[in-house]
């Protein structure tokens, strides 16, 4: 079958279970596309064809023995290069750590393996996952398949490029400030930022602040739900500091494929949650100006939801200056999480050096104060929207940016542009709430059709509600048939 990449993840697994195609055939097809399209789009940091084919042969043999095959059995995927994978180089987007080979998998790698997926390798990330774009030193940038002159976003940019180009139907991402939802918006995908604690962060543990979580990227809501079930499982993990509520009966995939749920009350805003950030960002502060095409995507989505019987009302999601300062402080401190020898600091990219320098200026009491301020703001934000089932915003404030746009004028301007570009996403990371990004805007920008996403943020543990809304919106405004020019 020469058109295997046209199949969704669920369709691929179904074809394998029926015996229409073997896992090895599917993996070979994906590897061919990874070597061509993946290379053009900067999607991969490392490819592991021998390991992938060995895993595929093992799965084919198990299926021949009559072993049970789940909804993602034999589906090709890839692991984000921030995620430790035993025996596979995990460079974390930096020339300093490019040769690191972990001895132990992160827990989610085993979960994906147990689900029967086959990893082709590691997807590209920016240095240490810090920026919202993926342009690592000494490697090609990850670009959106809809216009390869424009960024795929970050830090899950490589994963999003691979999925949007039909190299793999689903991929794992992680999100500490929008790093799943931003690439989903720029590449025309579904992306789910999970509830804090939904996906295990062991054995090394995530960041102490709990900002970053793992989640799925996919072309359809059902595929994203299936990968969410694989990542989250149906059990708790001893020692995990954050434990969410149990998944829904029948899993999130059951929700995605089921009948529409109850009518919901949804808040809408297209106004950035902050104003003048002078004094918080250092010498440069750029106003968050929302492009009309991004606002229109959210407003149109609100109209669709209302037509489906949901109640949509305006909501104010403004963050306090203290909350913004707390997030920026925590982000700078977390930039120091990767150990770097003093002699290697100058080899880091300018933005990384800037953030690490700011992190060193934060004393222990200030770091604890930032964590406390984030917790206080979480209580306020969650209480203020307690009457709402979800909050709808644009995913980002601007359409996909040209490669090099963020970093063109130095690291201070780089960081300020990132804050202005993605004003809403970090709220869910502060609160620990889930959010789903959906590709519901398709404006023509400079003569090219580009994806512009919207995001629904829900209550902790209620990914199922977001999946149900996403499935309803997908049925009302289908997007799975859209194909980028490189397809």
Tens-digit pLDDT profile for residues 163-221: 999 999 999 999 999 999 999 999 999 999 999 999 999 888 768 889 999 999 999 99
Check if the beta carbon of residue 247 is closer than 8 Å to that of residue 33: no
Strand 265-268 with 390-394, pairing: parallel
In a domain, 484, yes or no: no
In a domain, 139, yes or no: yes
Cα torsion at 370, 372, 376, 377 (round to 10°)? Answer: 20
CATH number at residue 285: 3.90.1300.10
Confidence of residue 276 (pLDDT cuts 50, 70, 90): confident
Q: Catalytic residue numbers?
A: 80, 155, 179
The reported pLDDT for the residue numbered 1 is: 58
Q: Tell me the average pLDDT across 445-462.
A: 97
In a domain, 348, yes or no: yes
In a domain, 485, yes or no: no
In a domain, 306, yes or no: yes
Residue-number span of the structural domain to which 223 is assigned:
4-476
Q: Is the peptide bond before 203 cis (omega within 30 degrees of 0)?
A: yes
Number of domains in the chain: 1
Tell me, rounded to whole angstroms, the distance of Cα 148 from its chain centroid.
Answer: 19
Sheet holding 170-175, edge to edge: 170-175, 213-218, 190-193, 435-441, 452-457, 390-394, 265-268, 311-314
Check if the beta carbon of residue 301 is closer than 8 Å to that of residue 440: yes
Check if the beta carbon of residue 221 is closer than 8 Å to that of residue 190: yes
Tell me, rounded to whole angstroms, the distance of Cα 325 from its chain centroid.
Answer: 23
Using alpha carbons, select from 421, 431, 428, 408 the residue that is nearest to residue 453. Answer: 421
Q: What is the pLDDT of residues 348-381, one digit of tens each?
A: 999 999 999 999 999 999 999 999 999 999 999 9
In a domain, 461, yes or no: yes
In a domain, 224, yes or no: yes
Check if the beta carbon of residue 151 is closer than 8 Å to that of residue 396: no
In a domain, 483, yes or no: no
Check if the beta carbon of residue 391 is closer than 8 Å to that of residue 442: no
pLDDT at 290 over 80: yes
């Amino acid at each position: 079958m020469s058109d295997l990449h046209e199949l969704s993840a669920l369709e691929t697994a179904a074809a394998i279970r029926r015996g229409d195609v073997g896992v090895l055939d599917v993996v070979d097809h994906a590897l061919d596309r990874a070597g061509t399209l993946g290379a053009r789009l900067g999607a991969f940091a490392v490819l592991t064809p021998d390991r992938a084919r060995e895993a595929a042969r093992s799965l084919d043999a198990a299926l021949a023995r009559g072993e049970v095959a789940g909804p993602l059995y034999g589906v090709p995927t890839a692991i984000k290069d921030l995620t430790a994978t035993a025996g596979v180089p995990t460079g974390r987007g930096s020339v300093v750590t490019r040769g690191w080979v972990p001895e132990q998998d992160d827990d989610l790698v085993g979960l994906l393996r147990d689900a029967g997926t086959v990893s082709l390798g590691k997807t590209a990330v920016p240095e240490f996952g810090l920026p919202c774009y993926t342009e690592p030193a000494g490697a090609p940038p990850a670009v959106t398949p809809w216009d390869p002159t424009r960024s795929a976003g970050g830090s899950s940019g490589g994963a999003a490029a691979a999925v949007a180009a039909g190299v793999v139907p689903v991929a794992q991402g992680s999100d500490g400030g929008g790093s799943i939802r931003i690439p989903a918006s720029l590449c025309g995908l579904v992306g789910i930022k999970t509830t804090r604690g939904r996906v295990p962060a062991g054995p090394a543990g995530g960041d102490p602040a709990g900002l970053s979580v793992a989640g799925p990227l996919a072309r359809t809501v059902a595929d994203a739900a299936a990968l969410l079930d694989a990542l989250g499982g149906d059990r708790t993990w001893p020692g995990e500091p954050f434990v969410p509520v149990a998944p829904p009966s029948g899993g999130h995939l059951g929700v995605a494929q089921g009948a529409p749920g109850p009518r919901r009350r949804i808040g809408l805003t297209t106004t950035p949650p902050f104003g003048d950030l002078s004094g918080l960002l250092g010498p440069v502060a750029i106003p968050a100006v929302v492009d009309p095409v991004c606002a229109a995507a959210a407003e149109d989505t609100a109209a669709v939801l209302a037509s489906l019987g949901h109640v949509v009302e305006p909501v104010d999601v403004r963050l306090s200056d203290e909350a913004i300062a707390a997030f920026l402080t925590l982000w700078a401190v977390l930039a120091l999480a990767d150990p770097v020898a003093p002699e290697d600091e100058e080899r880091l990219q300018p933005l990384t050096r800037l953030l690490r320098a700011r992190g060193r200026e934060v004393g222990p009491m200030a770091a604890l104060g930032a964590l406390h301020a984030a917790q206080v703001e979480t209580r306020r934000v969650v209480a203020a929207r307690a009457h709402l089932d979800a909050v709808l915003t644009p995913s980002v404030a601007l359409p996909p940016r040209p490669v090099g746009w963020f970093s063109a004028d130095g690291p201070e301007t780089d960081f300020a542009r990132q804050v202005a570009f993605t004003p809403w996403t970090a709220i869910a990371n502060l609160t620990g709430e889930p959010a789903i990004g959906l590709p519901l805007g398709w404006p023509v920008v400079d003569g090219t059709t580009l994806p512009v996403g919207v995001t629904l943020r829900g209550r902790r543990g209620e990914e199922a509600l977001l999946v149900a809304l996403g499935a309803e919106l997908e049925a009302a405004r289908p997007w799975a048939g859209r194909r980028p020019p490189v397809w």
